[in-house]
Structure 1
Amino acid sequence: MPRKIPPFAAIRAFEAVARLGRNVDAAQELNITASAISHQVRALEAFVGTPLFQRGSGQQSELTEEGRALLAPVTQALDAMDSAFARYTGKTLEQMISVHMYQSLANMWLIPKLPKLREALPGLTLRIVTMPEEINLSGSDVDHAIVFSNKPPQETRCVKLFDELIQPVCSPDYLKSRTGPLRPEDMVTEPLIRSQHHANEWGRWFNAAGLGDQPWKPVAEMDNRSNALQAAASGLGWAMDRRPFGEELRRSGQLVAPIDLAVQTGYAYYLLTSYRAEGSPAATQFRNWLIRNCTQQFAV
């Protein structure tokens, strides 16, 4: 008995528009015209007998309730097909996996670990993807994504790597140069470096130390965490380390954390695994290596 399914081109067009949000982006991904995308989506709507996208909602394509209900099983089916055919891509490609994360996280945390990864898994080639900043694993060619969130993601293939902590750090030379006691309350008059992305982190740390709101003036302000930590490593003063960004600088002795008060922010880093990568031995090996590495480095 023949299967009662619509043309595969229409299914692919629907999924691509729903995932990417615009006909023009779906057309570029599938290497066809935007008008062809529109035609295929309308063909699928005719097959199911109901609109799948809201019309007149601007350039962004908004799913209807029926469209949202259809997207989940369609995505699962396409991911299953992707996984089924992945075994035929050749042994060399099977040993290459990809992981998506923020640029700063890659630069300051994962890339310094690559020599250890190569030592543990010498046959594995890792592709690090940092653009765009947000990614939808379904329908993409990315195997894993490391995400930052204040609650566990809804994906079933998800594991927490570690919690985010904040803790003041400075260079060993700066620490030797200062005089007097070093208690949390003494930090108010110390040269503090502020990060624009987390302008209130010092206030949060002071509150956690039981000091309440404290007036303080930054000695410098940086627009990213890397610059703030490098300024502290150069001896300018104190920066707030947000785990895991300062771990390599602390491991190498360029930064120290003499005040033993690390404060949880309520956020954590999670590793997501795509459906297509679930059956990949290389992706599983990388996942297990990363979890093991984080367990050894941090108290999860």
Structure 2
Amino acid sequence: MPLRLPPLSSLRFFEAAGRHQSFKLAAAELNVTPSAVSHGIVGLEEALGVELFVREARGLSLTPAGADYLSYVSEAFSLIAAGTQRLPTRGTHRAIAVSCAPTLASRWLLPRLPGFRSRWPDIDVTVDTSHRQVGFPVDGFDFAIRLSRVPVAGAAWTRLFGERLVPVCSPAYRDSLVDAHGNVELRRATLIHVSTASEDWQAWLERTATEGVEPTGGLRFDTIQLATEAAMMGLGVALGRRPLVDRDLAAGALVEASPLTVAAGTVYWLVSAEHADRRPDLLDFRQWLLAEAEGFENDPLGSDTAAASRAAIR
């Protein structure tokens, strides 16, 4: 049975007018006259048997039914645009689009991309590090790397690797906390917090049964990367995320302010769009990324060293 759909031209008029709340602005965007937009929407309302706009002297506004319908029409146009963008065209190819948190992108993904490019030089990769939620397939991403306790229903989630939390700071700052007996007095430290992290100092203190440390004071940053850099600069003690900080610990830029580590409750996951199994380049990227993650979790320093060596060669 064929779908009952209104004319596409009328839907375009409605979507633009609803978005702008103006027939005039919609007409300018679509390069038609305001009268054409108005007549098209009147025809749409008659075809649907529903009033979509309230027309008043002070301006135009959507009815409740119109506002609800606009959300569906807008998403439909977004899906059509995303699907059109994915079509293979002569002489062109589309980059693999990946959404990833800034710290993981700079400290883990970026050092590995030269290795991927050396194997697949004709496949381009776009990395987006904004904190916004990704909607598949509307936002046009092929993959997202997310930190979560459990997979979210409705998408293909594959575990990459977990984390362990350990207090870290610069060598000089650690020396300033050592008492006469050679013990680090963490209670005297300035704690560095990550305001966006789901697990911070309170979680570490509770799980290690550490007492005498005030968990709320100190410095606050909105990214793990900034907090880690602040610790390297000697501003205080941050909660390092191993294995992401293993390279800094091995290089001596950071040292452990406490030997106590706890497993984080969150895990890094690779989230794949529904179409990821339909394109050979996406399958190659997914398999490569999972292999890199497995090697990193089993041997973080060895994997990082190999990645750094590949990057230095090119």
Question: What is the TM-score normalised by the length of structure 1?
Answer: 0.67
Q: Percent identity?
A: 25
Query: 1:123 is paired with a residue of what secondary structure?
Result: coil
In the alignment, which residue of structure 2 is the partner of 1:136?
135
Question: What is the TM-score normalised by the length of structure 2?
Answer: 0.65
In the alignment, which residue of structure 1 is the partner of 2:169?
170
In the alignment, which residue of structure 2 is the partner of 1:275?
274
Alpha-carbon distance between aligned partners in 2 of 1:205 and 1:62, rounded to the nearest angstrom: 47
**1:239 Cα offset (Å):** 0.9
In the alignment, which residue of structure 2 is the partner of 1:215?
214
Change (3 A) 1:115 1:32: same
Q: How does 1:1-300 map to 2 (within 5 A)?
A: 5-8=5-8, 23-24=19-20, 32=30, 55-56=62-63, 63=68, 78=80, 82=84, 86-90=87-91, 93-94=93-94, 96-131=95-130, 133-172=132-171, 174-175=173-174, 178=178, 180=181, 186-198=185-197, 201-211=200-210, 214-215=213-214, 218=217, 220-242=219-241, 246=245, 248-250=247-249, 252-257=251-256, 259-265=259-265, 267-298=266-297
**1:206 Cα offset (Å):** 0.7
Contact 2:207-2:262 within 8 A present in 1 as well: no
Query: 1:88 is paired with a residue of what secondary structure?
Result: coil
Alpha-carbon distance between aligned partners in 2 of 1:270 and 1:42, rounded to the nearest angstrom: 48
Q: How many residues align?
A: 279
Change (3 A) 1:165 1:75: farther
Contact 2:143-2:273 within 8 A present in 1 as well: yes
Change (3 A) 1:246 1:23: farther
The letter for the 1-side match of 2:262 is: A
* RMSD, aligned CA: 4.6
**1:238 Cα offset (Å):** 1.8
Query: 1:291 is paired with a residue of what secondary structure?
Result: helix
In the alignment, which residue of structure 1 is the partner of 2:302?
none
**1:230 Cα offset (Å):** 1.2
Contact 1:188-1:216 within 8 A present in 2 as well: no
Alpha-carbon distance between aligned partners in 1 of 2:157 and 2:123, rounded to the nearest angstrom: 22
**1:201 Cα offset (Å):** 1.7
Report which stretch shifted further, 228-237 or 279-288.
228-237
Q: Give the unaligned 5+ runs of structure 2.
A: 54-60, 299-314
